[in-house]
Amino acid sequence: MNKLKLDNNEEDKKIITFTLNKEMKETLKDVLIKSEKYNLKKKTDWVNEAIIMLKENPDYKIMVRYAEGNGEDFVFDKIYMSFEQRCFFSEMRNEVVKEYPDIRGPQAAIIRAAILSRLMRKE
């Protein structure tokens, strides 16, 4: 497995920005604050795990399709992804685009669908 390593031996993490509904951002913040396992600094972990959970759902492409959106109360947010996570994410994105070639902003839609479905699971 080839991992990109930086000089300080850290995994190659890149910032991934996306937009989401203000309300969803607030809800996520509350969940992280109240969580025993997570906190605001671990939002990246929570979201990356949510993306993996989403992929396990056989209907995930439909869920992503419905998470497409650009409402007026959308705000920017960001997470970090390692090289490995970006490869996984990129594969998902390609599958979604293959299924729905006209989808707008598939990357952000995947992240929104992942956050939403994990919030609904109440974990």
Q: Which DSSP letter does residue 78 get? A: E
Residue 90 lies in a domain: yes
Residue 19 lies in a domain: yes
Q: What is the largest CA-CA distance in the chain?
A: 42
4-63 residue pLDDT tens? 555 554 568 999 999 999 999 999 999 999 999 999 999 999 999 999 999 999 999 999
Residue 47 lies in a domain: yes
Could you tell me the CA-to-CA distances from 102 to 24, 30, 87 in Å, in that order?
A: 25, 34, 22
Q: How confident is the model at residue 73 (pLDDT cuts 50, 70, 90)?
A: confident
Residue 33 lies in a domain: yes
Residue 32 lies in a domain: yes
Residue 8 lies in a domain: no
Which burial class, exposed, middle or buried, applies to 7 when counting CB atoms under 10 A from its CB (0-12, 13-18, 19+)? exposed
Residue 4 lies in a domain: no
| Domain span including residue 21 | 14-121
Q: What average pLDDT does the structure give for the chain?
A: 89
- Considering its fold, how many domains does the chain have in total? 1
Res 11: pLDDT = 64
Q: How confident is the model at residue 68 (pLDDT cuts 50, 70, 90)?
A: confident
Residue 6 lies in a domain: no
